[in-house]
Chains A and B, each alone.
Chain A
Amino acid sequence: MREKAIVFEVNERQHCTTIPSHRTLLEVLRALGYVDVKCGCEKGDCGACAVLVDGEAIDSCLTLAWTVEGRAITTVAGLGNSNNPHPLQAAFARNGAIQCGFCTPGVIIASESLLRKTPNPSDDEIRFALSGNLCRCTGYTKIFEAVREMVLTRSGGVLR
């Protein structure tokens, strides 16, 4: 089995680590201690493992670690912490959009990715952006409300 040392950045921290060719980014991130990235299916079905790679949400379980050479990864813990949460994280907590919380890292990453690309999304665009992230607890109602609240706050109260 081939191995290769690759360099990449996670939450603004540099890593250089030797990785076998078949390792997924999910496996590597969790082995490095980024256990806020969740493993729900390893098949790209549930979205719990989503991270930002150069600002774009991807399923880390479907990404071979070798392919992130030289790129910048952000996990949900890289967005904020409990003393200084990212506004989306605060909105999720405040809106009761979190129950068991296992899907939450992926859902927040998907929401952040959406809002970076589309700062003022329509309701349909929000639902479409979240459709790759399964949640079994909330029924999506409060997740949707949290994202919508963010849109509203950022757009100064103007909804499309």
Chain B
Amino acid sequence: MSTTVKIPATHLETGSRQVGRPLERIDAKGKAVGSTRYAGDYVMPDMLHAKVLRSTVASANLRRLDVTKARALPGVVCVLTGADVPKHMVSTDIPGQTGSWGQNTGQPILVHDRVRYFGEPLALIASESRDIAERAMTLIEPEYEPLPGVFDPIEALKPEAPLVQGVGNVVASQMVRKGDVKHGFETADVIVERVYRTQFIEHAFLEPEVGLSWIDENDVINIHVSTQVIEHFRVVADAVGLPYNRVRIRGALVGGGFGGKEDVTVEIYLALLALATRRPVRLEYTREDSFVGHGKRHPFVMTYRTGVKNDGTITALEAKFIADAGAYVFLSPSVMVYAATAAPGPYKIDNLIADAKAVATNNMYTSAFRGFGAAQACVAYEQQMDEVAKAIGMDPVKFRRKNYMRAGDRTATGVVVPSAIWTEQCVDQAWTALGEPVEVSGPIKIGRGVAACLQGYGRLTSLHDTSEGWVGVERDGTVTVRSGVTDIGAGQVSALAQIAAEVLGVTLQDVAVYNSDSAVTPLAGTTTATRALYMTGNAIRQAAEAVRRRLAQRAAKAFNVPPDDIDMAFSKVFVADDPAQSMAFRDLVRICAAEGIHCSELAMFCAPFTEKLNPETGQGQVHPDFSYGAHAIELTVDTETGEITVIKSVGAHDVGRAINPAAVEGQIEGGAVQGQGYALSEEMIYKEGRLMTPSLSEYLIPTAMDVPQVKCIILESGSGLGPFGAKGIGEAALTPVAAAIANAVADAIGVRIAELPITPEKVVNALREKE
């Protein structure tokens, strides 16, 4: 459901025929009729079935791991323990195409001697059937010597806390310093302070981790796997001690990612077992394996202190983030960069201190999740904006309007954003779209909330990100695209087809995309960080444009006009202002092929390359660019039961240019509901490190009955760095939602519940305390 705001005429690209239309995605029909093959749908002759045995304690020395009985069980082919892979570590915390901070995750592939979290992998089993593997698991007897653990990041910072990782358990930190905060607070009329808390969150993609590995005739390890990052072939090669060109990762269409398939999942286990057995090996996680086995969204404790003048001018902000990193580092350093640099949100705050620390505990490790630290920051800064507005008696939308960062202003890290900043338009349109409030009575109270956000798109510029893509035209006039990009469900592949079709003047059906194979498709980089469209889209556009230029030159010769006068559309090539002079696209391709004119192109797109942020001040460029958006919510609260019902949910985002508006709506709608789960129902509960919610009946993602129809407002400033002026939407769609809901609840009941999720129990308790 959406209304589209027209692009101002000056930004319109002429000749747009495929880009900008809500076309049916090229992957849709196969998924609808069940012919799409996911990574878990492949089997091979002579294939073994694998399982991962995990620790059932969170902090211990592993005294002994007796696998004798398991190895002796008929049908068990291989059992590997830490003793079999002594030097092997999960080798990098920066997956992907380029860039490395040289930081190790510190996690052994299999526990050697020390268990640091519940669910840490102890052993790998490969057997003739899944039944046998499951039976073998029960025959392995770990002997633990319990060690004191620490399960709260604030406790873990105390000097007497058990050491899990790093120095004093701090595994990553990021600071930002701008202006003079002391002076800022001195000039404030009012200072508002509050601690906001968020919880462990599970990605809950519908497809649990799965893969199939085999060693081929050239001694290459092939891994067919559900992943966001085929470039993990390097991580796998490092882990098993092979050259990079001897590991091949073949992706598949991915059954959901959201950051949960950004780190390595089953690949290293599969490679080790295939090497050990020389047989194909399949490993599929159960839902419980998946819940226990991959990193979560960082829970944050966020202390915000804001100084403001009575006229609504913010004079200073001090933001402190403490994040639970869990037992190993993974992507915590990058998450801290995102959080600290997003601390002021889309507001112009000249006096700023932000400090983010990731602290090791014996909880499950935390890593990437849609929004990546910036989403947690938004939960704090947008609740704080409402609280500050309330403290000075100003309307929250008006207060925001007074403080928006605008074109030409500098970000928290001192950078002028290269694109349009349409926060105000997004907030105003989302807020207005709520329309007339529903009528309520008695114990049912109604509330409204809004939240704005900024979200970087593209990886951290200090990672020097690149993407390669290939476009070629065939002699029947069809177009082939090759890109390593993984499609995790947002339409990454279909967008590339749309872009190539646009540039070469054919329709979407004329384009075939081959993707996600680290050995044969050009490496496009990760599908993470809202970068796929920006990076791979630009690479494919460049490649397609190079092909078009060469074809147009040849056509120009045929029609005896300058190349710039040649246009292509509807699979025809013609003189732009005299379309009667034309030929079929395929005829032109045949002529070019016969004359040895190169009809394909491999292009590389490079994001801006920068140094890391200044370690003293946190100043410098963080992201290539930012997306700006807003979400507005109307909900009701039953003050007797605490039940919250979301009635209206509106996302408004400047996406720069909607390559496929239906796909953009899909992102906003999905983000709205994932954000609603974040705000109201989802929580991975750990008790002394042990997961208490290992199923989808205990970890509650929203169902169709829990959510309203989401309304989308797509704004198109045309100013983004992506193809045709596109920005990114994947993460931004989720980021403002939870804060908008929290603000709406506070509006409804007059008391703020500053700890997600806002459950009925917390509502009832808060109302009791208020009385």
Contact = CB atoms under 8 A, between A and B. Distances in A.
Interface in B1-30: 1, 22, 24-25, 27-30
Interface string B664-677: 01100111111000
**Most chain B beta-carbon neighbours within 10 Å: one of A80, A81, A85, A99:** A99
Interface in A115-152: 126-128, 130-145
Contact of B29 (A39, A43, A48, A85): A85
Contacts of A82: 29-30, 33, 35
The interface residues of chain A, by DSSP majority, are classed as loop
B334 to A, nearest CB: 23
Interface in B265-317: 284, 286-287
Nearest to A20: B131
B287 A43 contact: yes
Contacts of B30: 82, 101
Contact of B31 (A39, A48, A101): A101
Nearest to B36: A101
A96 B25 contact: yes
A35 B260 CA distance: 23
A29 B703 CA distance: 26
A90 B204 CA distance: 27
Contacts of A42: 286-287
B34 interface: yes
A102 B255 CA distance: 5
Contact of A139 (B35, B662, B672): B672
A85 B27 CA distance: 14
Contacts of B666: 96, 99, 137-138, 142
A36 interface: yes
Contacts of B701: 134, 136
Interface stretch (B205-213, B387-395, B742-750): B205-213
Given A48-B206, A100-B488, A139-B670, A93 B32 contact: yes
A102 B256 contact: yes
B32 A98 contact: yes
Interface in B661-717: 662-663, 665-666, 669-674, 695-697, 701, 703-705, 707, 709-710
B206 A96 contact: no
Contacts of A142: 662, 665-666, 669
B259 to A, nearest CB: 12
B704 A136 contact: no
B264 interface: no
Nearest to B31: A101
B752 to A, nearest CB: 26
Nearest to B42: A35
B451 interface: no
A132 B701 CA distance: 12
A155 B669 CA distance: 27
Contact of B696 (A43, A98, A127): A43
Contact of B704 (A39, A86, A133): A133
B254 interface: yes
Contacts of B696: 40-41, 43, 45-46, 134
B38 interface: yes
Nearest to A96: B662
Interface string A86-106: 100110111110111111110
B33 A141 contact: no
A102 B673 contact: no
B24 A93 contact: yes
Contacts of B256: 100, 102, 136-137
A60 interface: no
Contacts of A105: 34
A100 B254 contact: yes
Contacts of A40: 206-208, 287, 696
Given A77-B33, A137-B670, A41 B287 contact: yes
Contacts of B31: 93, 98, 101, 104
A114 B490 CA distance: 27
B137 to A, nearest CB: 16
Given A46-B206, A100-B254, A127-B704, 4 more contacts: A40-B696, A77-B33, A104-B31, A136-B674
Interface of B: 1, 22, 24-25, 27-38, 40-41, 203-208, 253-258, 284, 286-287, 488-491, 662-663, 665-666, 669-674, 695-697, 701, 703-705, 707, 709-710
21 contacts: A41-B696, A46-B696, A48-B206, A85-B32, A89-B32, A89-B33, A96-B22, A96-B665, A98-B25, A100-B256, A101-B32, A101-B253, A104-B32, A136-B203, A137-B489, A138-B670, A139-B673, A140-B703, A141-B710, A143-B704, A145-B709
